[in-house]
Amino acid sequence: MKYDLNLLPVFVTLMEERNVTRAAERLGMTQPALSNALARLRDTLKDPLFIRERYGMKPTQMAEELAPAISTALAGIDDVIRGQQEFDPASTTRLFTIAPNSYVEFVLMPAVVARLRERADGIKLRLTPFGNDLVETGAMSGATDMVIGRMVDPPDNLVVQHLMDDGLACVVRRDHPDVQDSFSTEQYERLKHVNVLPPGRMRAGLFQALGQRGLKREVAVSVTHFLAVPEMISVTDYCATLPRLICRRLAEDPRLKVLSAPVDLGTFPVEMAWHVRYRHDPAHRWLRALIVEVAKDLLEEKNNTNPR
């Protein structure tokens, strides 16, 4: 039996999106063209494959059974083709889509961009929101080249690599009336705090660390990005507990001072993940190695400066 291999990416994208409009946009097709491709798939496989429902399309049992085999086959083809391609970082013009969490976007990505400018000026980056889970980032489908942050329960089709660990420190305004060069647990608990609420499951990280050490914290204001913290802290007597690499940046602000937390709050991991289809892609492998190098250099710089 003959199959039109061009129809397989249509099937995989419909499985992931469960929506004709979004699938067509991802594939660069018109909706009528995608509907025509779906009709041909249905005719070939003698099955409806997707049933329209109020909020999208539900795969049939046959579609659910076919999906893993087709996704694996397409990923294998991608591996072979990309593995044969030559890659020259100095001449490539490729665009990479990366989903960093807010911490990575603030700490790591500027250094990555600077190094790309030196070694591969034709490589362009498109940063997309980390989202609430790995489905939203596009990592599980391969639509996003890589995700950088903290991976919770990653699926089998993602490869996860540990980049580094970071700890936590505190920031207050430089002329704070009640805090000098250090503070006690009692002082920490008396202060009001600025809290950063990153998306997804990372929200619980600091709260868990405080709870495990018996520290209480009165949150006066919550913000959505680290960039808002210095402006909040500089005009209040509040305190913010932040990753050390971010505190190192904020220590350069003359309005602020960085202090060690009253107790050791432990560390958190920073990880990089990508779809298995990019495993042997030469350009992707080169960019991953560059990001690993940047993370290593940042840690060395942090260790060679004031640990606060």
- Identify the H or E element spanning 63: helix 61-84
Euclidean distance between CA atoms 73 and 234, whole angstroms: 55
Neighbours of 130 (CB within 10 A): 27
CATH for the stretch 95-165+269-303: 3.40.190.10
Euclidean distance between CA atoms 260 and 75, whole angstroms: 47
CATH 1.10.10.10 in the chain: give the residue spans. 7-84
pTM over 0.75: no
CATH 3.40.190.10 in the chain: give the residue spans. 95-165+269-303, 168-266
Parallel, antiparallel, or unpaired for β 239-243 and 218-223? unpaired
Which top CATH class is 7-84? mainly alpha
Written as six digits, the tokens of 308 are 């606060």
Q: Quick one: three-class SS letters along 85-134? A: CCCCCCCCCCEEEEEECHHHHHHCHHHHHHHHHHHCCCCEEEECCCCCCH
Which of 21, 12, 8, 93 shows the shortest CA–CA distance to 52? 21
According to DSSP, residue 263 is labeled S
Tens digit of each residue's pLDDT, the chain (308 residues): 567 778 888 898 898 888 888 888 888 889 999 999 999 999 999 999 999 887 788 999 999 998 888 877 777 776 666 555 667 888 888 899 999 998 999 999 999 999 999 999 999 999 988 876 676 677 777 778 999 998 888 888 889 999 999 999 999 999 999 998 888 999 999 999 999 986 544 455 677 788 788 888 899 999 988 999 999 999 999 999 999 999 999 999 999 999 999 999 999 999 999 988 888 888 999 999 999 999 999 988 877 765 44
Return the CATH fold of 168-266: D-Maltodextrin-Binding Protein; domain 2 (3.40.190)
User: Who contacts 198 (Cβ-Cβ below 8 Å, separation ≥6)?
Assistant: 101, 102, 103, 130, 224
CA dihedral 39, 43, 47, 53 (to 10 degrees): 10
